[in-house]
Structure 1
Amino acid sequence: MPLTSEQCRAARALLDWTQDDLSVRAEVSRSTVRGFEGGQHGLQRATAAAIRRALEAGGVIFLDPDADCGPGVRLGQTAHSDRDKGQS
């Protein structure tokens, strides 16, 4: 399933990451993240894979669309426990 700009923004919000955070973790430029999320351009396959890997490493789970809903994201259990530890 291709990564959508909406999924990218939602995943960053769930992780409380800035565009800079994502660009560093995915090893892509901030302008690439900004342009993709803003709808100015798509992503090369390798760039999309790098962004997706970074978000998944943060604990995001990508959800495929079904008959009722479009594609989405959610946090896995590990991400919840990691975030809770940081807030102690």
Structure 2
Amino acid sequence: MSIENLSNRGPAVTIRQVKAARALLGWSQGDLAAHSTVSEPTIARLEADEGLLGGRPDTAAKIVHALTNAGIEFISENGGGLGVRIMRPADGK
């Protein structure tokens, strides 16, 4: 399965969700770059835009993967609006 197919499976992630996720984690663009292996200038360029997280599919997948690995859950449009939250640890603490 190609990375394009993987990136098209889940709900679309917006730039605002990425910025909100970074804020919840207390991460700078540099922190996200380090965790995602995407360059900081690329993250800055992507975040300067509006709408859906753009760029190459593998780049977007690396960013989303880094944030979800850090505990972020992306909330899709469900009548209440898009959002992000930090998932509760598996042990409930």
Give the partner amino acid of 2:23. A
Aligned to 1:76: 87
Q: Which has the higher helix share?
A: 1
C-alpha RMSD of matched pairs (Å):
1.9
Report Cα offsets for 1:6-49 as digits up to 9, x if no partner: 00100000000000000110000101111111118822111111
TM superposition outliers: structure 1 runs of 4+ over 4 Å: none
Give identity over the alignment, percent. 36
- Residue 10, structure 1, aligned to residue 39, structure 2: no
- Which structure has the higher relative contact order (CA within 8 Å, separation 6+)? 2
Aligned to 2:48: 38
Aligned to 1:84: none
Of 50, 57, 60, 2:62 maps to 50
**Structure 2 unaligned spans of 5+:** 1-10
Report Cα offsets for 1:40-84 as digits up to 9, x if no partner: 882211111110010001100010102332x21101112xx5xxx
Q: Which moved more, 1:39-48 or 1:7-16?
A: 39-48
Q: Tell me the SS of whatever aligns to 2:85.
A: strand
Give the partner amino acid of 2:40. R
Q: Tell me the SS of whatever aligns to 1:77.
A: coil
In structure 2, C-alpha distance between the alignment counterparts of 1:65 and 1:42, rounded to whole Å: 18
In structure 1, C-alpha distance between the alignment counterparts of 2:32 and 2:80, rounded to whole Å: 30
TM-score by length of 1: 0.80
In structure 1, C-alpha distance between the alignment counterparts of 2:79 and 2:86, rounded to whole Å: 22
